[in-house]
Amino acid sequence: MTFYRNLILAALLLTLGVVSLGAYVRLSDAGLGCPDWPGCYGSVTPHHAAESINAELAVRPDGPVSHAKAWKEMVHRYFAGTLGLLILAIAVLSWRNRRDTRGGMGLPLLLLGLIIFQAMLGMWTVTKLLKPLIVTGHLLGGMATFAMLLWLWLRECGQHTHAYYARVDHLRGAALLGLVLVVIQIALGGWVSTNYAALACTDFPMCQGTWMPAMDFEHAYTLHRELGETASGDLLPLTALTAIHWVHRVMALILTVYLGWLAIRLFRAPGYTGMGLLICVLLALQVSLGISNVLLSLPLALAVAHNAGAALLLSSLVVLNHRVRRR
């Protein structure tokens, strides 16, 4: 079963890379670098599609298609495809060794179903022209894949039942709520990113020079609409983008206060000081990256790091929830 556990770990690390690479593709405006799926203009690589890409560049030199963007998009697909094969192998091995694995086949099969749905979302991301609801769903699917693989790895390794961990049954609800709040914040952050609202507020801590800027929540959170448009097809107003950004900031404040309180409670539980410290460090990193992205006008490296940091913060809450339930 060592190979099985190592395969899960490999898929887990690859998922973190795929999530980060997906953020890089989105933030570098390469999401339509290849406007078809799964290939690039029907070819396996952008190199084989060079003639079609050149033809598109001749018509729209500043359009969404270029050789560099096509390679970014396809490299992301290659990594995602490899991840799909790894998860398929995990599901097959869990069935073949079902008597030796921990917890049954439910989670591996659920992962397999999720990765298939993720592939469909990836296709719709392109064919639906970066529709925010689909792109945000694709991001959340990637985060869910990462969290489920981490839980599966923790379950199979069974390394969190040491006697020095105190009983913290009273923290189970608090740990679960922390996980839920992180997921909500990731969804709100995804909505900011997929609507390109990260720079709707370019100052901090205020937004547009005030604590309460003009905001349009109705159009901001109308889910079924095209990128940059209202449901009726009009141009999405700045007030809607401001609302999207502002809500993400407010939720970040709520999450910071809550996780800070949770960390203090973990410091008081024998064996959980390291867990509380890890949550504090990752939370501080995320807040710093978020503020830096605003003040520095969203540099690509920091924006991608903010996405990766969200996955790491999510992982810390997954580990915490696994630990308090295993004990």
Record the tokens describing residue 133, joined without a space: 């609801």
Record the tokens describing residue 260, joined without a space: 């800070």
Which residues touch 231 (CB under 8 Å, ≥6 apart)? 219, 222, 224, 225
The stretches of the chain forming alpha helices (DSSP H) are: 2-27, 50-59, 67-96, 106-127, 132-157, 172-194, 217-220, 238-267, 273-295, 300-326
Distance of CA 7 to the CA centre of its chain: 21
- Establish whether 226 is a catalytic residue: no
Q: Is there a contact between 242 and 208 (Cβ–Cβ < 8 Å)?
A: yes
Q: Which of 56, 73, 226, 229 is catalytic?
A: 73
- Is residue 40 helix, strand or coil? strand
User: 12 - beta bridge partners?
Assistant: none
**Residue carrying structure tokens 């989670």:** 107
What is the signed CA dihedral for 137, 303, 289, 309, rounded to 10 degrees?
A: 50
Q: Which residues are catalytic?
A: 73
